[in-house]
Structures are given as C-alpha cells and as structure tokens.
Structure 1
Amino acid sequence: MKKFLLAAGIFIAVITTCHSQAFGVKAGINFANFRGDDADDFNVLSGFHGGIVAEMRLLDALSVQPEFLYSVQGAKTKDETYKLNYVNLPVMLKLYFTDSFNMHAGPQIGLLISESDSFTPFESNTYDLGLAAGLEFFFADNFSAQARYVAGNSEVSDNRKLKNTVVQLSLCYMF
C-alpha cells in the first residue's frame, strides 16, 4: 500500500511539470466478468468507475494519459455476487487519427480496496495487473466518450483460476 501511494505521489509530481497538459474527470459504467479455467459459471456484473485523468501531449498525434480511477469489478453467478472494488492506475498511450478521434492502449495496475461476496468467502488477491485498450471520440468542446476493454493478467484469487475482464463505457470532461 505504501509503495502504491508513493508511486501515485511521484506520478502526480511528474505530470504537473510536463508541458501541454490537460486535466479532467471521467465516469462511466463497467461490464465486468471473470475469465479463466474456473469462469464457466460466472456472468456479467454491472458496476461503475470514476476518477481523474491527466493528458500530456508528446507530439501532435501522440499523448500519454495516466488516470486514477475507482472501479467496481467482479462477476456473479445464479446464487452469488462477487464485488471487487479497486483503485486503478492505467497509463494510456493515445494515438490521434483526427483531432476528435483516438485509439489508446497501455498497462494498468489495480489495488483492491474492498470486496464483498454474497455467499462463499473469495480470498481475493490485493493487486491486479492488466492491459487496457480502447477508442475515444470528442463530441463537443472538452467532452468525450470512451469505450475500453481491460484484461487483467493476475489471478483474482489464489484458490480459483480467474482473471478480471472489464468493458468500460465512459464520459470524460477535460478542463
């Protein structure tokens, strides 16, 4: 936890010294599930995500966008619901095709801050490392819509072969 907070502090210090930067807020809906050998009985769990973003232009058509997000993930079965609440730190490399349309991809680290299950104790792992990719369209001054897929690469639990998978639909406002 201390290392994660230290990394977040260094990240914030670095982004405030970059040129051509913009800050914003984003929020949206998650469609989360598990994938893996033990994932057959699980179905999509709807949740939400929200937080802050910072975009730093590297070139006219290339930027880096780190984000600090709260995200409700997990999955459900016919009888049980597993909610995993994360603080996620994705770092997206954005390639602009036009001024209003980009594709982005990058790594994400998640820190599990709380969990709830409706029946069986789940014993979730604390960290979730993953990869994310998506599309973004700016539809008005400073407003954009994003669609993103996040594939967790870490086992969600030591006692089950499951990994997070999330489809995110977001609205973002840049200041």
Structure 2
Amino acid sequence: MKSILTTLVFVLFAFTGYSQDDKKEDNNSKDEIELKTKYGVRLAYNISNLDFEPDPDFENKHRNNMAFGGFVDFAVSNSFSILTELQYSAEGGGKDETLRVSYIQLPVLFKLYFGENFSAGAGPMVGIKTWSYEDGYKNVAFSGVAGIEYLITDILFLDARFSYGFSNILDNDASFEAKNTNIQIGVGLKM
C-alpha cells in the first residue's frame, strides 16, 4: 500500500512540474487555454458485493442501491486533473440485511484526458461507516477505485467506476474476512 501511494505522489509531482513548464510556454502564445477547476454533483447506481476469505457457507448475492455526492475537479494541465469527491454509497451484500453497510466515501481520482470528451482515472478511496444492520463492521474502509468518464455536453457526463477494498471491513473477531467490491454507473453535472 505504501509503495502504491508513493508512486501516486511521485506521478502527481511529475505531472505538476510538467504542467508548470507548459503554462510558461502557453503564456507566450496567443492560443492560451485557461485551466478551470470544475464543481459538480453525481448520482450513481451501485452493484456491490462482498469478497469473502475463506468462501462462506451461505449464499452471497450482490446488493443494488444508489450513491450520490459532490465533487471538485482540479485542472493541473490540459490533459491531467485531480478529482476529489464526497459521496454517500450503500454497499455490502444483497439478500441478507446483516451483510449491508453504507459509507461516506472520499475517492481521489488522478485523471488523464484523451481528447475533449473522454477521460480515465484511478486512485485511493477511504470510507467511513454510516450504517450497518448489526455492529460487526469496522468504522473505516480503504479501497482503490478506477473509472472512465464521457462528457456528453459541456456540463452533462456519464461515467463508470470499479472499486475494490484493500481492507477487511469486518471486526477482528469474525471467523472470516470480507472486502467490498463495487461497480458504479453514474451520471453527473459539471459547473
């Protein structure tokens, strides 16, 4: 985990240094493009599940629910930005209510742009438990998230994300471990 974070920080500083050189060169040209920080809201459909180790002796179904939140997308250069988001996400397993857990999450996506309308990004995510059917879940969960985004108009976008839990979300006295996996299909507005 530390090596992943170290690599992300290194890449961030490399892109930031590169973008500063681009800005100096752009200031000398008449075709200067203004970098904008964008704000917005996002609503997503969750398809989540728990990845158990060892495999459980009960039926493990996915849970369908919603996620919603607000974000800030900081433009670093014309081809790179850092998106931070605060979202509520209902996750966990499906049929059995004891497997359901909801979080307030903070994903940070390091995004690369491929043309004007398409981007892809990845980064870390931390979640704080807001609700669970029974108290048997840890209060904090760490995950990795990756996704793609397509800008339909200047303000409307569609996206898809996949997140996988790095940490066991069950209390230490449980006989097995569980990690969240989640697919989100989202729509949002940028301002």
Per the normalisation by structure 1, the TM-score is: 0.82
* Structure 1: distance between partners of 2:91 and 2:140: 13
* Structure 1: distance between partners of 2:152 and 2:63: 28
Paired residues of 1:155 and 1:161 also in contact (CA < 8 A): yes
Name the structure where helix makes up a greater proportion of residues.
2
Matches within 5 A, 1:7-86: 20-40=36-56, 41-77=59-95, 80-81=96-97, 82-86=99-103
Name the structure where strand makes up a greater proportion of residues.
1
- For 1:145, which of 158, 167, 171 is the aligned residue? 158
What's the counterpart of residue 134 of structure 1? Answer: 147
What's the counterpart of residue 116 of structure 2? Answer: 99
**C-alpha displacement at 1:39, in angstroms?**
4.7
What's the counterpart of residue 180 of structure 2? Answer: 164
Quote the RMSD (CA, aligned, Å).
1.4
**C-alpha displacement at 1:30, in angstroms?**
0.3
What per-residue deviation string (whole Å, max 9, x for no partner) do you get for residues 104-151 of structure 1? 1000000001112xxxx4601111101000110011221110100000
SS of aligned partner of 1:123: coil
Per the normalisation by structure 2, the TM-score is: 0.75
- The gaps in structure 1 that reach 5 residues or longer are 1-18
Larger Rg: 2
What per-residue deviation string (whole Å, max 9, x for no partner) do you get for residues 60-80 of structure 1? 100000000000001024xx2
Paired residues of 2:64 and 2:94 also in contact (CA < 8 A): no
Paired residues of 1:69 and 1:87 also in contact (CA < 8 A): yes
Judged with a 3 Å threshold, the aligned counterparts in structure 2 of structure 1 residues 150 and 87 are, in CA distance, closer, same or farther, namely same
- The gaps in structure 2 that reach 5 residues or longer are 1-34
* Structure 1: distance between partners of 2:152 and 2:187: 10
Judged with a 3 Å threshold, the aligned counterparts in structure 2 of structure 1 residues 76 and 144 are, in CA distance, closer, same or farther, namely same
